[in-house]
Amino acid sequence: MGLFRLLTFILVVIVAWRMIKNYRAAVAKRDNNTENPKISVREKMVKCEVCNIHLPKEDAIAGDASDSNSDDGNWFCSPEHKESFKRQGS
């Protein structure tokens, strides 16, 4: 009867160890998914005419000659750069 109890105890320990291992793996996978959200949308980028940096079109300031729906024309990263570009052109 002692051998049966020993085998049962070993089986319970193995099952518990596997359950804990699977639980830790699931928690780690869930944490990795929440920490690194995937970016699914690519934003259209435009270049500032003064400092030549690229920024999202939604954050850029359109020049007077350009249509806000078009990528042609002048784009600026700040109102100061828009004003300095106007002064250079005058």
Q: Which residues, at least 6 apart from 46, have a Cβ–Cβ distance to it below 8 Å?
A: 54, 55, 56, 57, 60, 71, 75
Question: What pLDDT, on the 0 to 100 scale, is given for residue 67?
Answer: 46
Number of neighbouring beta carbons within 10 Å of residue 45 = 14
Q: How far apart are CA 24 and CA 13, in angstroms?
A: 17
Looking at the DSSP bridge assignments, the partners of residue 45 are 56
Number of neighbouring beta carbons within 10 Å of residue 72 = 8
What digits encode the pLDDT tens for the residues 5-64? 999 999 999 999 999 999 999 998 887 776 655 555 677 899 999 999 999 998 999 987
Instruction: State the alpha helices, DSSP H only, in the chain.
Output: 2-35, 79-89
Question: What pLDDT, on the 0 to 100 scale, is given for residue 18?
Answer: 98
Question: What pLDDT, on the 0 to 100 scale, is given for residue 66?
Answer: 44
Q: Domains of the chain: which residue ranges?
A: 1-38, 45-89
Q: How far apart are CA 71 and CA 18, in angstroms?
A: 58
